[in-house]
Amino acid sequence: MKVVTPVQMRKIDSYTIESIGIPGIVLMENAAIRMTDEILKDYGSVINKNIVLFAGKGNNGGDAFAVARHLCNKGANTVVFLLAEKKDIAGDARINLDILESMGIETVEVLESGKLNDVEARLEKAELVVDGIFGTGLKGGIKGFKADIIRLINQKNVPVIAVDIPSGVDGETGAIEGECIKAYKTVTFGFPKFGHYLHPGCEFAGELVVADISIPDSAAQNFDIKSYVIDGETVSKLIPKRTGNSNKGDYGRVLVITGSTGMTGAGCLAGTASLRSGTGLLYLGVPKTLSFIYECKLTEAVTIPLEDENKGFLTRACVPELLGHMEKMDAVAIGPGLSSKEGVRDVVLSVVENCNVPWW
């Protein structure tokens, strides 16, 4: 999955709106629907639940306005605290604010710390907070009454779900200067941003959900995006599909040469990783006196007890047998937990010099 900077995301949004022709209000509506879906996934019914939404004056605030409408339609008791003057709200966000007011959904301006008591009173009864104060383009620390409100939200034991990114996180660097929303979940739109993955921002984002808001793939292809995150979808494309008339012998034989007294865990981890990556047959070449440990730990692996002269680590004496087994393998791994005992170096050199299959 592509990972973008806030600047790249703005360019993708602009291209989608101006060149492809999908109106910004449609993207905002899709974002609000996806946010609402995530809330319903976590909470089930929101009928009569008290949900407090915080909105800034930008498009994040517009998303929050639209989310408030959807939650109200689902039966929630919603109140929106707008941390800006209503007259300053413009564009698509203004459309959604006007809809809220037409529906009679309570929207309260908060422009100074003097209104913190009103905010705190609502938070005391809240079962969920939606953070739509700042977006991914934030630079520098949050100050003044907005910082006071974020501090107050964090002090309350109320779950927070963030729109796009927790308010206070730099969307490009993950940096946090001052107060920052601590979310249990963040729903971002189109593509994840660097700030979602970089420390300390990642610690404040909670579970990250990347929501599809109908931005076409072609929109991103017009920009030089070179950064990716490895996810389940990416990995699944690399693993060949298994046919119904195959068996485990058709999916590769891997030999992991591993083990010494006190360090058997490393080989178990390496073996488990090999199996999870799709290995059909896993063999563990281990010191003979320790083989019972691996047989108990890894049910699917075939253990090959190698000569260790009762020392608890591999010795030169195991090399002939080891080389014979290597000839039957498709790949070899050597190293996990072998130790640096005398004789182990000779085993490693023998493998390196004689292995005719991929090894690492």
User: What are the pLDDT digits (tens) for 150-178?
Assistant: 999 999 999 999 999 999 999 999 999 99
Instruction: Give the residue numbers of the binding site.
Output: 59-63, 131, 135-141, 164, 167
% of residues, the chain, pLDDT over 90: 91
Per-residue pLDDT averaged across 117-146, rounded?
96
Question: What is Dmax (Cα atoms) for the chain?
Answer: 85
Q: Please, what's the b/e burial string for 316-325 (b: 16 or more CB within 10 A of its CB; e: otherwise)?
A: eebbeebeeb
Per-residue pLDDT averaged across 290-315, rounded?
96
- Tell me what pLDDT residue 171 has: 97
- Tell me what pLDDT residue 269 has: 97
Centre a 10 Å sphere on the Cβ of residue 276 and count the other Cβ atoms it contains: 8
- Tell me what pLDDT residue 355 has: 95
User: What are the pLDDT digits (tens) for 216-270?
Assistant: 988 998 898 999 999 888 888 887 888 999 999 999 999 999 999 999 999 999 9
Give me the chain's average pLDDT, please.
96
Nearest to 255 by CA among 235, 274, 237, 231: 274
| Cα–Cα distance list, 222 to 11, 192, 193, 262, 346 (Å) | 10, 17, 18, 54, 54
pLDDT at 352 over 90: yes
State the pTM of this model.
0.81
- The amino acid that residue 3 corresponds to is V
Instruction: Give the residue numbers of the binding site for (6S)-NADPHX.
Output: 59-63, 135-141, 164
% of residues, the chain, pLDDT over 70: 100
pLDDT at 149 over 90: yes
pLDDT band at 29 (very low <50, low <70, confident <90, very high): very high
How far apart are alpha carbons 2 and 12 in whole angstroms?
12
Q: What is the 3-state secondary structure (H, E, C) of 115-146?
A: HHHHHHHHHHHCCEEEEECCCCCCCCCECHHH
- Tell me what pLDDT residue 234 has: 85
Instruction: Give the residue numbers of the binding site for K(+).
Output: 60, 131, 167
* DSSP-H helix ranges across the chain: 6-15, 24-43, 59-73, 91-103, 116-125, 144-155, 194-197, 201-205, 217-221, 232-238, 264-276, 291-297, 319-326, 344-354
- Tell me what pLDDT residue 231 has: 87
Q: Which domains does the chain have, with CATH numbers?
A: 6-233 (3.40.50.10260), 248-354 (3.40.1190.20)
- Tell me what pLDDT residue 272 has: 97
Nearest to 81 by CA among 31, 120, 35: 120
Nearest to 90 by CA among 65, 120, 107, 112: 65
- Tell me what pLDDT residue 271 has: 97
- The amino acid that residue 41 corresponds to is K
How far apart are alpha carbons 167 and 183 in whole angstroms?
9
pLDDT at 70 over 90: yes
User: What are the pLDDT digits (tens) for 179-213?
Assistant: 999 999 999 999 999 999 999 999 999 999 999 99
Contacts of 217 (CB under 8 A, 6+ apart): none
